[in-house]
Structure 1
Amino acid sequence: MASLPGFANPDETVEINDPSDDKVRKKGSKKGGGFQSMGLSYNVLKGITKRGYQQPTPIQRKTIPLVLEGRDVVAMARTGSGKTACFLIPMFEKLKMRSAKAGARALILSPTRELALQTLKFIKELGRFVGLKSSVILGGDSMDDQFSAIHGNPDVIVATPGRFLHVCIEMELKLSSIEYVVLDEADRLYEMGLGEQLTEIVARLPDARQTVLFSATLPKVLVEFAKAGLNDPVLLRLDVESKIPEELQLWYVTVRPEERVAALLVLLKSHIDSEQQTVVFAATRHHVEYLHMILDRVGLSNTYIYSNLDPSARKINAAKFSTGKVKVLVVTDVAARGIDIPQLDNVINYNFPAKSKLFVHRVGRCARAGRSGTAYSLVTPDEYPYLLDLHLFLGRPLTIATKIWSEASVGRIPQALLEEQHGALLSLHETNADLVSMRTVTENAYKQYVRSRPAASSDSNRRIKELPFLTCGIHPIFRENEEYAEEERENLLDKMKNYRPQGTIFEICGKNKSQEYQVMKQKRSFHKDKINTFHDTLEQKENEAKLLTNKSELTLPKSSSEDIDDAFDKVILPKKRKFEDLYKKNKRQKSRDDNFIPYLPADRHTEEGLAVNNFQNEASKVQLDLTCDSEEGMRRSTQMKKWDRKKKKMVTVQDKRVGKIRTESGVWIPATYKGNRYAQWKEKSKIAQAEESDNEEIATPNVKLRTEANTHWARHNKKLKLKQRKPELKTTDEIMKARKIAEKKRNKQKKRGKKGKRNK
């Protein structure tokens, strides 16, 4: 069996549910294998029970014992499975209690500030009885406060990599006291371009540390990082095949681009309960502001979050939504990863994501920890290929509502509902000039977004033409409302859409003896065979679709295990599929020639969905230039000039090292990381003087301080002394006066010298 490279003994983590295992029975004998059976201390267990945790999730049951043993762990589990508690509970058990002199002993790195603040909240709730001191270091906050927080020797540091590295370089931190390191949402850290920062932070950490890496997906970049930066890691892969929980319902609504806002209002006002919490994901921050303005004018209470928003405003808006003061939150993808909203019921994809992995993280905000949820996606014609790519990645069938009330996941909104909301929107834009200007901004932003959006696969673009999206029926979620069930109207509209006349406009409107009529008749007779074959293929496809629908309606009763035992003496069952079977080679490939290379790998859809770096982008950098004969020359030639779209010509590009400094680990980082801010803070806060004065007090504890009397004459003498004291700075008049006095003195001395000579 071929093992996964970079990980030690994956057999330990593969067999997830094995009731016949005696060891599992012995360990789980106390209260059914809960947290009590993990050997945790009293204070940690007390915090867990007060938080409301009763039974550990599968990822917690497998991860916590491994981390407590001191192993480096790479855990990959479905989003919403309780990964945060997996690294916090062992951290509390390892650190035990507060240590003011040791310095920071645990480091948790998160991709976004919201996720870091959420982790800090979990630390305070779960570890309230442990007494550990924790601090957070985030971009956008005051660096002076962060310097003072690190001087307070916290036990746990929760940080985002960019700001934490900035603080480390400013303060020249060695991080030698760190024992426990956690990379939360590690794949997102690499996707955000924080690979250099992570490399530099890991280089500053001690070799004897324990590293725990958590991620919802496992791209190849993380496998390479685990091989290089982790010590004999153990891989945990739980719920890999079911990327989306079963409790989550996926509905796709086809809309035209100009009716996208109206479709969103239909969902929020007519379909979704006003008491339910909903998160709306948009493509850019301009879309977020535009939707926020519209929802405010329509009367729906909402708030919004995007990356460029002020940090304090982001915190306030997130608190509004989490506490239930508003029911709708409009966000960009900044909230797509790791944010835990316990009572979230619905997710709406206003713009369909281009990456399948991003869709999984978006919809993973709801249906967490066993709760049910619904994910709605508005899909325009240019986004149909991405929908196909998503279902290839998920391994699910895509069902389109071809009839009016057929059971399917893809459908459209009744036209009456869309027209009602679209008309209200048009009247809103007529009376509000700021909405019109904001709509123009969003249109321009969407054009830029489409340019930077990765292209869908060529197979999906080809297959999308064969699917009946144009004849899509009304979505089944709208059939519950009887007032909108206008079957006759929808039937008539469908007939009008699907109507194709027998002849062209030249044949219908022209006369029989006209030249146009004769030409079209000759053309039709010339292509008669192709026209007949086309109609035959259309009829064949319709018949196949009918057969498929008839098969799906036929449901046979399932047989029970007792019936099978009565009918068969011997039953041969397949072995439980283990996760290492995912990496076994296909048996058919083994019989082939060793030199055979398949055109497409078997897991290409999964790898494309989980990929962090695109192969085309990486390959474009490694190009062969025949004008240079060295690697340095090739590198310079690619960096010297670059095509500028605005100027329409090649422009010179500065060297990437300009404005950068090289760290101890050899990584080039911006020179702004190393400033004089820490020294200025020390001088301003008098930290160095306070330390010197503390040392002097310790050395001479019996020194008496001289004090002045607080009488009337003492205060009077003090004022006289202050008046007599010469100021350090002089005015121009004082300087001129002093010069004149000095000149007079010199003249007097000269006159005295002359008189003395005469007397002699």
Structure 2
Amino acid sequence: MDQTKVKKSGGFESMGLIPELYRAIKNQGFNVPTPIQRKAIPQILAGRDIVACSKTGSGKTAAFLIPLINKLQNHSTVVGIRGLILLPTRELALQIASVLKALLKFSDIQYSIMVGGHGFEGQFESLAANPDILICTPGRVLQHLLEDRLKLSRVQMVIYDEADFLFEMGLADQLKQILTHLPSQKQSLMFSATIPEQLSMFASVGLKDYIFCKLDKEFQLPDSMQLHFLFAANDNKLSALIYLIRQLEDTCLVFASTRFLVDMLSYALNKFHISSVHVYGKMDQLDRKEQLDNFKRNQVKVLIVTDLASRGIDLPFVANVIHYDYPSNPKIFIHRSGRTARAGKAGYVYALISSEEILYIKETMIYVGRKLVNEGDFTDPSLAFYGNMPIELLMQNQEKLNDLNDDIEFQNYKEIATRANEKFRKTRGSAKKVKTNIDTSLVHPLFKDKIQVEEDTKDMLNQIKNFKSTQSVIEIKKFESNQKSDPFMKAVSHLKDVQKRKPLPKIELKEQPKSLNIENFMDQKFFIPTQRDPTKKSEFEDLHKITLEDINPFVISDGTDALRKRKQMVWDKDKKKYVNPKATQQQDKEDRGMKVEKGKQNFKKWQKQTSIQLQNVGEEEDQQMVSRAKELFKRRQMRGKGYYFNQEEGPQRGGKQEIKRPEQLLKSKKIKKNLKLKNMEKGKRRQIEKKHRKNKL
């Protein structure tokens, strides 16, 4: 009998992968490829350009990393980047790097990360180490290209991950500029959850004879995900959120439309003693990383975010996703909800829906192919459940919410968030007019068991209301006659006498003539008026003025009517959208002038300090130079974590200092204070700075 093993058809064994890569895949526990991997990897290994479209969490990352590693095979001693991965956010770059590191466990291929928000010196050193793969965001890699530090003439494969998000963020022009620096003979891969019009136009230019890999509808959710739509008025949404979080045992990811609303929700949850952290785009990078680490280590239960986290941030094992406000675009709803129920695990999505948002959920359910019902099996993947939250449950937190509304700081957060949401609603596209037969009076099936006790209480009250005494009128009168001396009866009798009294006639007061001349009497310098001048804006309004740029750009829909009405927006024929010409001209001026010149000066300064030269593409790598660059890069990373290699670099050798000196404590306290002030809302920060200046005087 032949003892040779038969290879499984359709598995990683039949794909012809190099041994080091196959061993790393098995080491990660990947036994069977996902559908998108099974369809895309053979086409990529055959050298074809592809555009792959698959839902969030379907294994797209490994679908392009496995063929990339298999094509490069090992580290090249010839200088030049051979694999380029372009992504929209730095969080997504770090996530891709972690997966790539695991797949390169048994390989000598080198990779580097080049994203915004990180120091240039470390990126200079990583480029000098001759990496094979470069993971980068378009803005930062374009800056290195313009300053003549980076050459991409040896690139064999370029990958556009989350390509639809790249174009939604307005990075199409940067991608076209990068395309001019790439060789004509290269393999191009595009991976995305959806395919917008701009992406298809770019694919026709940047890709040659590509294959379109699409397994299912663009708008589809995993079968292991449960959808629950909870009807609640805007004034009751905060109470509904607090009740819902307290009922859920696992971690919760709460999505809000603007960063101002994120601040308000974070403040409110902390007042209710619910451990939470928050993240949004304008937050400082160090603070953002610290907040995410706390959530990943399960030190807090709730993470409140804008749509930044719908893609790009690696949040493993999120059990519950809550939409505090509903997005107008079904695509955004899908990406938000896709943070749970990943890799076949169960996930739960809850959306708080106000009356004006009902049309949006009907439109979304048409796209995802789920039926809205009020009763049914929760595990049925073809159903989505709707219903209202009983007012009895919402009133449980009402007393503390009333106290919170009296909080001055919360009032400021709420006022700013309300105005920001008004801006958001103006830019939000209208829902399609679809026929709705949703009864908003029905209770959601999740709460039917909980309100049974309330219904029993109501029945008891109704019985008391309908109670009829068995005593006769004579017996009751006899009892009342014995109680005339009771103080309560005396008070009732006195009240009747008072009510019988006739009211006094009203006397109209005559208006007295003004004897003082206010204009002469009022001291303009020290006089404080009792009423605000309506022609002048208050200082609070100036400090908290909200512009359209403060709103998360990802939640603004593509075809908004509000943007077209603004005078500063001009139609761009190439971009096929309205743009601000002044902002574009200013950005181009910075990219081509001041930023480039400053970057060249920083590069020369780094070369002078380290005595390292970047080698030209195609040269044989200098082992001594590469080793020195790697050592400097490693030292820089260790210093960032608090480790030092000698007395000149830090206070001790080898380990991290556990006991700090008084001056070190003061310095760390000052750094934390400055970071807190930097991440504070702009208007509040100005008030504090103004107060400090007065104290100094």
User: TM above 0.5, one fold?
Assistant: yes
Q: Give the gaps of 5 or more residues in structure 1.
A: 1-27, 494-608, 626-630, 643-652, 662-667, 693-697, 699-760
Alignment match, 2:495: none
Alignment match, 2:450: 481
Q: How much has 1:361 moved relative to structure 2?
A: 0.5
**Does the Cα contact within 8 Å between 1:244 and 1:360 map onto a contact in 2?**
yes
1:193 paired residue among 170, 176, 180: 170
1:162 paired residue among 118, 139, 142: 139
Q: How much has 1:210 moved relative to structure 2?
A: 0.8
1:453 paired residue among 386, 409, 428: 428
**Equivalent-residue separation in structure 2 for 1:136 and 1:152 (angstroms):** 12
1:665-704 equivalent positions in 2, closer than 5 A: 671-686=593-608, 691=613
What do residues 189-234 of structure 1 show as CA deviations (whole Å, max 9, x unaligned)? 1011111011111121111111110001122222222211101111
**Equivalent-residue separation in structure 1 for 2:156 and 2:447 (angstroms):** 55
**Equivalent-residue separation in structure 2 for 1:491 and 1:228 (angstroms):** 73
Paired positions, count: 510
Structure 2 counterpart of 1:411, which letter?
G
2:326 paired residue among 331, 335, 352: 352
Alignment match, 2:388: 412
Question: Would the alpha carbon gap of residues 158 and 85 (structure 1) be closer, same or farther in structure 2, given more than 3 Å must change?
Answer: same
**Equivalent-residue separation in structure 2 for 1:243 and 1:45 (angstroms):** 31
**Are 2:340 and 1:366 aligned?**
yes
Q: TM-score with structure 2 length normalisation?
A: 0.67
Alignment match, 2:364: 390
**Equivalent-residue separation in structure 2 for 1:268 and 1:308 (angstroms):** 26
Alignment match, 1:424: 400
Structure 2 counterpart of 1:676, which letter?
K
Alignment match, 1:433: 408
**Does the Cα contact within 8 Å between 2:253 and 2:322 map onto a contact in 1?**
yes
What's the secondary structure of 2:372's corresponding residue?
coil
Alignment match, 2:19: 42
Q: How much has 1:171 moved relative to structure 2?
A: 2.9
Question: Would the alpha carbon gap of residues 237 and 197 (structure 1) be closer, same or farther in structure 2, given more than 3 Å must change?
Answer: same
Alignment match, 1:89: 66
What do residues 103-153 of structure 1 show as CA deviations (whole Å, max 9, x unaligned)? 211111111111111001111112111122222111122223222322222
Alignment match, 1:468: 439
Q: Which has the larger radius of gyration?
A: 1
Question: Would the alpha carbon gap of residues 345 and 689 (structure 1) be closer, same or farther in structure 2, given more than 3 Å must change?
Answer: closer
Q: How much has 1:155 moved relative to structure 2?
A: 1.3
**Equivalent-residue separation in structure 2 for 1:610 and 1:289 (angstroms):** 17
**Equivalent-residue separation in structure 2 for 1:639 and 1:376 (angstroms):** 34
1:286 paired residue among 253, 256, 260: 260
**Equivalent-residue separation in structure 1 for 2:20 and 2:594 (angstroms):** 43
Question: Would the alpha carbon gap of residues 242 and 188 (structure 1) be closer, same or farther in structure 2, given more than 3 Å must change?
Answer: closer
1:330 paired residue among 280, 304, 320: 304
**Equivalent-residue separation in structure 2 for 1:370 and 1:656 (angstroms):** 44
**Equivalent-residue separation in structure 1 for 2:155 and 2:241 (angstroms):** 48
**Are 2:101 and 1:151 aligned?**
no
**Equivalent-residue separation in structure 1 for 2:253 and 2:578 (angstroms):** 42
Alignment match, 1:317: 291
Higher relative contact order (CA 8 A, sep 6+): 2
Which of 390-399 and 126-135 deviates more?
Answer: 390-399
Structure 1 counterpart of 2:238, which letter?
V
What's the secondary structure of 1:67's corresponding residue?
helix
**Equivalent-residue separation in structure 1 for 2:431 and 2:58 (angstroms):** 30
Identity across the alignment (%): 35
What's the secondary structure of 1:409's corresponding residue?
strand
**Pairwise CA RMSD of aligned residues?**
3.6
Q: How much has 1:400 moved relative to structure 2?
A: 5.0
Q: How much has 1:358 moved relative to structure 2?
A: 0.3
Question: Would the alpha carbon gap of residues 401 and 257 (structure 1) be closer, same or farther in structure 2, given more than 3 Å must change?
Answer: farther
**Does the Cα contact within 8 Å between 1:351 and 1:378 map onto a contact in 2?**
yes
What do residues 354-383 of structure 1 show as CA deviations (whole Å, max 9, x unaligned)? 110000111011111111111000011121
What do residues 395-450 of structure 1 show as CA deviations (whole Å, max 9, x unaligned)? 33333579xxxx971111121210112322222343x4322221222112111211
**Are 2:88 and 1:114 aligned?**
no
Alignment match, 1:302: 276
What's the secondary structure of 2:263's corresponding residue?
helix
Structure 1 segments, 4+ long, off by >6 Å, are 490-493, 609-612, 615-621
**Does the Cα contact within 8 Å between 2:321 and 2:350 map onto a contact in 1?**
yes
What's the secondary structure of 1:171's corresponding residue?
coil
What's the secondary structure of 2:597's corresponding residue?
coil
**Equivalent-residue separation in structure 2 for 1:408 and 1:148 (angstroms):** 52
Alignment match, 1:614: 559
Alignment match, 1:584: none
**Equivalent-residue separation in structure 2 for 1:201 and 1:612 (angstroms):** 27
Q: Give the gaps of 5 or more residues in structure 2.
A: 377-382, 463-553, 615-621, 623-697
**Equivalent-residue separation in structure 1 for 2:269 and 2:452 (angstroms):** 25
**Equivalent-residue separation in structure 2 for 1:138 and 1:32 (angstroms):** 40
**Does the Cα contact within 8 Å between 1:78 and 1:238 map onto a contact in 2?**
no
Structure 1 counterpart of 2:442, which letter?
G
**Does the Cα contact within 8 Å between 2:275 and 2:300 map onto a contact in 1?**
yes
Alignment match, 1:380: 354
